[in-house]
Structures are given as structure tokens and as C-alpha cells.
């Protein structure tokens, strides 16, 4: 399968052809034969190494950037690729910096390569940091939720590549929440680094697909186009369950936390704890005033993960979600339930209302909850925009949904 590439233009026909080829490869396997193994973009070096050749490459990588059991940096160096520098996103290149923590410029100890931070003040590479590069290569595991900031960093990288005429290669990876779309669609006035694109909270796209959509929909400043090449995942369907071999960030330690993240992430704008400062973040819910729950925990500082967690040092009571469905989907019910369980007025429950609205991508969700609307009524308000989004994203999809 040929690498899917944008060269200053977008061809929907190429995306459709790639989708058909993927469907044919699946259909060609009899029911008595096992399906071919899923291979991430990074695990198909025969497709991208010839393009890199002996050129100078900048890498956007972290702890998830693995080729089998080997880090992509080590693999590329062993293959003779000249790596000029590494660009670090939120949580750093080793995934050991807490949410929102400072990521500094420096030198990577194991490799001696210079590190340029793209988090904590400067989100886009400067002209000087990419001027000597022949390629910028992005290989980061995402989790398919709009407020997870790696896709915002991708946007800024694409903008810089378009502005400074540097080609970008995305080594694609499966989306562990890629089997559905859900949640409110972001409105322009709530655009921020935790939500930059007019897409649902759970968008059901891989990084490679979303990069193509950013290009094709003209979402870069001035309608600029990034010179983009995507190395697709082989033998992947969106309905496939995907267990991440490496945790994508300090507070998403396992598959369940990643599946609960879309629902529980909204609690970051409330007075309720979702387990930061414990061994089970994004798998529990609690508050000091709750009397309905049967599970208790005390958030404590954890270096590199939650150094000042909500309700630090206070015993909270609530619910342990670790016995629930192993593959849950986005739900508003926890948020609606806990709006009354804390005993606070709803206005106080939304302790960081502005931040909540940025997470949701709209203030309509918070206002609907304040008005006493139920989940069904709120969901109905999203249905038309979801359908529009499904049609809008079709030209950019690389993988069958079922």
C-alpha cells in the first residue's frame, strides 16, 4: 500500500482508494484464517525509511514512540537516519512530567540529542529550529479525545511546517477510543490549546486522519497547507479494541482509564476528584461531602504525575469504577449524578466554569445542566452536528469503521 501523501493539495480519491484496499485485504481472509497482524506506522520501516534516506530529521516523540520493543529514536539511529533534534510535547519525551507541568529545553541523556520544548509557552517550532531539517516526523500515541493536547500540538507543528516549507510525516497509530463519536462539538469562541478544532469531544479519528482533515478543511491560518505524508496503520479497523502497550501520559495508566477519560475529564472543571494523586486516576470519582458512595481514597502528591491533586490529603468518598464495563463509552450520567451528590449549589459544583467550558468546547453543556436538563435532552442537541461531522470527515478516513 503506497504511503498516503499531501503535496500542497488534497485528493479525496486517494483516501477512498486506500480505504478500499484496506477493506479488500480484510475481505480476502477466509473465516478459517487469522486476520493479519495490526502494524503501526512506525512498525513498517520499509515504507518510510526510503523517504528519509540520509536526510536530516527532527522527531516529535515520547515514551509511546516504539518500534516493537525499541524506541523509535534508537531504531532510526541504528538504521543510519540523521536525527538533528527532538521536539517535546506535554509530559515530556519520557512521559514523566505531570499534567500542565513545565517541559524545558535541554539534552536527552540516553542519546545526547538536543530537546526543543513545544509545551509551556511556545507551542510551535521556531523557524530556526526547523530551518536545517529535511523532514519533521511525528510519532505520538493519542487517545481520541479533543482535550488531550497532542492533537493541538500537531496543529501547531503543521502550521510551522506550512509556514517554513518543511515536510511533515505522521507515523499513524490506532485510536483506543476510535470506535465511536460523541459529545459536544467545539464552538469557535471556546477554542484553546485544550480544544482547537470544531470536532466532537470524542471524534473517532486517528492522528493521521485528523492531520488530513486539518489540511483539507483549511483549518491552518490563512488556509495554509502542510506538506503531509501519513504512514497508515496496517490491518486496522476503527471497531478494533486496541490495548496500548505503553501508557500515553502519567495519569492514563491502563485501558480502562483511557476509555473513562472522555467522561471523567470534564470533572476537572468541578469540585469532584477523579483520582489524581492515587494509583488509579480516571478510574474513581469522589468528594469529601459525598455520603452515597462506598469507596474512599485520599489524594496525595505523586511526583511526575499529580504534585498538587484536588482535595490533597483529604479523605473523599465516592465510586470505584474499576469493576465497570471494560470498554465504556462517553456518558454524561456521572456528571449529572455528581451535580447533586456534593451537596453544593450547582454554580459552586462548577468551580472552574471557564475551564469546564473549554473542556466541553461550549458553555451550552454547563448551562443545560444548570437548567436541569437530562442526558437524553442534552444529547439530542448534538445529533445534527454529529451527522454533519460524520459527512465532513469521510474524505479523510483511512480505515473502515467495522
- 10 Å Cβ neighbour count for 186? 25
Are 324 and 193 in the same domain? no
CA distance from start to end of the chain:
20
What per-residue confidence (pLDDT) applies to 154? Answer: 97
Is there a single domain that holds both residue 73 and residue 208? yes
**Same domain for 314 and 185:** no
pLDDT score for 22: 44
Contact 342, 271 (CB under 8 A): yes
Distance CA 246, CA 39 (A): 15
DSSP result, 233-274: PBT--TTS----SS-SBTTB-SHHHHHHHHHHGGGGGSS-B-
Query: Which CATH number do you get for residue 235?
Result: 3.40.50.12170
380 domain residue, yes or no: no
Going from the C-alpha of 45 to that of each of 48, 58, 186, the distances in angstroms are: 5, 17, 36
299 and 159 together in one domain: no
Sign of the C-alpha dihedral, residues 156, 159, 164, 166? positive
Same-domain status, 63 and 174: yes
- Whether 141 and 177 have beta carbons less than 8 Å apart is answered as no
Domain assignment of residue 376, yes or no: no
Strands 114-117 and 106-107 come out as antiparallel
Q: How far apart, in whole angstroms, are the C-alpha atoms of residue 215 and residue 228?
A: 8
Cell, residue 154:
500537531
Query: Do 88 and 137 sit in the same domain of this protein?
Result: yes
Whether 149 maps to a domain, the answer reads: yes
Q: Which residues of 217-250 are buried (b: 16+ CB within 10 A; e: fewer)?
A: bebbeeeebbbbbbbbbbbbbbebebebeebbbb
- Which residues in the chain come in under a pLDDT of 50? 1-30
Q: What are phi and psi of 223, to 5 degrees?
A: 70, 20
Residue at which a domain ends, from 195, 219, 244: 244
Range of the domain at 279: 255-371
For residue 323, being part of any structural domain is answered with yes
Q: How many CB atoms lie within 10 A of CB 323?
A: 9
The Cα-based distances of 253 to 259, 302, 343 in angstroms read: 11, 14, 31
Query: What is the dihedral sign for C-alpha 360, 281, 247, 181?
Result: negative
Q: Does residue 353 form part of some domain?
A: yes
In angstroms, rounded to a whole number, what is the distance separating the alpha carbons of residues 150 and 90?
7
Q: Which of 341, 345, 161, 176 is nearest to 244 (CA)?
A: 176
- The pLDDT of residue 3: 40
Q: Are residues 354 and 214 in the same domain?
A: no
Residues 62 and 169 in one domain: yes
Assigned domain for 401 exists: no
Same domain, 11 and 153: yes
The reply to whether 47 falls in a domain is yes
* Boundary (domain end) residue, out of 244, 273, 292: 244
Q: Which of 191, 224, 244 is the last residue of a domain?
A: 244
Distance CA 368, CA 372 (A): 6
Residues 125, 24 within the same domain: yes
DSSP annotation string for 14-45: HHHHHHHHHHHHHHTS-TTSPPPPPB-GGG-H
Structural domains in the chain (count): 2
62 and 37 part of one domain: yes
Spatial distance between the Cα atoms of 26 and 23, rounded to a whole number of angstroms: 5
In-domain check, residue 277: yes
Question: Is there a single domain that holds both residue 127 and residue 262?
Answer: no
Amino acid at each position: 500500500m503506497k504511503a498516503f501523501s499531501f503535496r500542497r493539495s488534497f485528493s479525496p480519491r486517494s483516501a477512498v482508494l486506500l480505504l478500499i484496499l484496506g477493506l479488500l485485504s480484510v475481505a480476502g481472509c477466509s473465516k478459517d484464517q487469522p486476520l493479519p497482524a495490526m502494524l503501526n506506522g512506525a512498525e513498517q520501516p520499509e515504507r518510510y525509511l526510503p523517504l528519509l534516506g540520509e536526510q536530516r530529521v527532527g522527531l516529535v516523540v515520547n515514551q509511546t514512540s516504539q518500534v516493537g520493543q525499541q524506541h523509535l529514536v534508537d531504531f532510526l539511529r541504528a538504521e543510519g537516519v540523521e536525527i538533528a533534534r527532538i521536539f517535546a510535547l506535554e509530559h515530556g519525551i519520557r512521559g514523566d512530567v505531570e499534567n500542565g507541568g513545565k517541559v524545558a529545553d535541554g539534552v536527552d541523556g540516553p542519546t545526547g540529542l538536543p530537546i526543543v520544548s513545544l509545551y509551556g509557552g511556545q507551542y510551535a517550532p521556531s523557524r530556526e529550529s526547523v530551518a536545517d531539517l529535511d523532514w519533521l516526523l511525528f510519532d505520538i500515541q493519542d487517545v481520541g479525545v479533543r482535550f488531550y493536547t497532542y492533537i493541538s500540538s500537531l496543529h501547531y507543528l503543521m502550521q510551522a511546517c506550512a509556514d517554513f516549507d518543511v515536510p511533515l510525516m505522521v507515523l499513524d497509530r490506532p485510536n483506543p477510543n476510535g470506535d465511536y463519536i460523541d459529545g459536544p462539538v467545539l464552538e469557535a469562541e471556546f477554542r484553546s490549546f485544550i480544544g482547537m478544532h470544531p470536532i466532537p469531544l470524542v471524534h473517532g479519528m486517528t492522528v493521521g486522519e485528523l492531520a488530513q482533515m486539518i489540511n483539507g478543511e483549511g483549518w491552518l491560518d490563512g488556509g495554509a497547507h502542510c506538506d503531509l505524508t501519513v504512514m497508515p496503520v496496517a490491518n486496522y479497523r476503527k471497531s478494533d479494541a486496541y490495548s496500548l502497550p505503553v501508557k500515553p501520559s502519567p495519569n492514563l495508566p491502563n485501558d480502562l482509564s483511557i476509555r473513562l477519560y472522555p467522561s471523567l475529564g470534564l470533572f476537572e472543571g468541578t469540585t469532584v476528584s477523579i483520582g489524581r494523586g492515587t494509583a488509579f486516576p480516571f478510574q474513581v470519582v469522589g468528594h469529601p461531602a459525598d455520603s452515597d458512595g462506598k469507596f474512599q481514597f485520599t489524594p496525595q502528591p505523586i511526583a511526575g504525575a499529580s504534585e498538587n491533586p484536588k482535595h490533597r490529603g483529604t479523605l473523599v468518598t465516592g465510586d470505584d469504577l474499576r469493576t465497570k464495563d471494560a470498554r465504556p463509552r462517553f456518558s454524561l450520567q456521572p456528571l449529572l449524578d455528581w451535580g447533586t451528590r456534593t451537596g453544593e449549589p450547582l454554580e459552586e459544583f462548577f468551580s472552574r466554569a471557564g475551564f469546564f467550558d473549554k473542556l466541553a468546547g461550549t458553555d451550552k453543556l454547563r448551562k443545560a445542566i444548570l437548567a436541569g436538563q437530562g442526558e437524553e435532552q442534552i444529547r439530542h442537541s448534538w445529533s445534527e452536528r454529529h451527522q454533519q461531522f460524520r459527512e465532513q470527515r469521510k474524505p479523510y478516513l483511512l480505515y473502515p469503521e467495522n
